Amino acid sequence: MPMLSFLIRRLLQTIPTVLAVVMLVFVLFSVVPGSIASTMSDDVDPQVELRLKQQLGLDDPLYVRFGNYIAKLATGDFGTSFRTREPVTSMIAKRAWPTLQLIFTAMAFSVVVGVPLGFIAALRPGGLVDTLAMVVAVSGLSIAKFWLGLMIMYVFALKLGWLPSFGYGDGGLKYLLLPAVTLGVSPMALFARTTRAAVLEIMSADFVRTARSKGMSEVRVVKWHVMRNALVIILTTVGLQFGGLMGQAVVVEKLFSWPGIGSLLVDSVLQRDIPAVQGSILVVVLAFLAINLLIDLLYGVIDPRIRYA
């Protein structure tokens, strides 16, 4: 029951966050220069431009437009794209799966490589493995995604011929691997550093010393005390990184011609397709909030001392 009330409370807390984001995006796109008419044609008759604005509701006062938008949003209607005249929900639906594929694969890669790397590094601090692991971690954090993506393409597609250099293909792993690794390198590096720091701190904690003094084997100490405690910190970092990955995916999607929400968002901004921009941002925000809520719930599973209060 405490978990259910925690869940309800957290869900209610998301409402003002979502509303604030929606309002911010709405106001921003009402004041930025450039209009849908100017992106549609170099030679729009002023009368046509006026009628287009009327038809799209762009001549209404801002508060009326915002009210209409919120009312539609409450019914799950994200509006209709100015450019494609498609429902925004359908546009996003087409892009959601490729984005989820990309982000989850990137996250899986970064966790599977980064966490063990940080762990191994922490078990022998200052040693060769630790030094190498941290060189990898610092490099991973520092390298620009665009450059890294090109290098990965060059090596694995052009030189080795193992994988295609771009495209979605049939959406299979063959096409997914290079963009996912490009996107996953930076969080991988962060997880390695975070894990190393967390494990080092826990290893010197009193309860670990106590466990060792009781004669517990090193393997059991690491498995039962160090790993479980470190997981809470790692999980928090994972949750935050999901949001970051959604933002960073824009560069990777464009580089690899991957059909995700990121490239939809960028193109919609450039074309002043306001409903598509609002819808894409809203989906990203909702996904970020959902993942962080899930992480919060997982805390209690990993560490029973954490209560849903």
- With tokens 């925004």, the residue in question is 88
Cβ at position 157, least distance to another protein in Å: 5
Buried/exposed 253-272: b ≥16 CB within 10 Å, e otherwise: bbbbebbbbbbbbbebbebb
- 40 scored as a contact of another protein (CB under 8 A): yes
- Cβ closer to another protein: 47 or 75? 47
**Of 197-205, 208-216, 222-230, 269-277, which part binds another protein (CB under 8 A)?**
269-277
- Cβ closer to another protein: 35 or 236? 35
- Cβ closer to another protein: 122 or 249? 249
- 85 scored as a contact of another protein (CB under 8 A): yes
- 135 scored as a contact of another protein (CB under 8 A): no
- Cβ closer to another protein: 11 or 151? 151
- Cβ closer to another protein: 51 or 209? 51
- 167 scored as a contact of another protein (CB under 8 A): yes
Cβ at position 91, least distance to another protein in Å: 7
Site string for another protein, 47-66 (x = CB under 8 A): xxx-xx-xx-----------
Cβ at position 267, least distance to another protein in Å: 5
Four-residue CA torsion sign, 199, 202, 203, 204? positive
- 130 scored as a contact of another protein (CB under 8 A): no
Cβ at position 208, least distance to another protein in Å: 48
Binds another protein (CB under 8 A): choice among 161, 213, 215, 304 = 161
- 160 scored as a contact of another protein (CB under 8 A): no
Would you state the structure tokens that stand for residue 168, as one six-digit string? 């979605």
Please compute Rg for the chain using Cα positions.
24
- 77 scored as a contact of another protein (CB under 8 A): no
Positions in the binding site for another protein (CB under 8 A) = 32-35, 37-49, 51-52, 54-55, 83-86, 91, 94-95, 98, 149-150, 153-154, 157-158, 161, 164-168, 253-260, 263-264, 266-267, 270-272
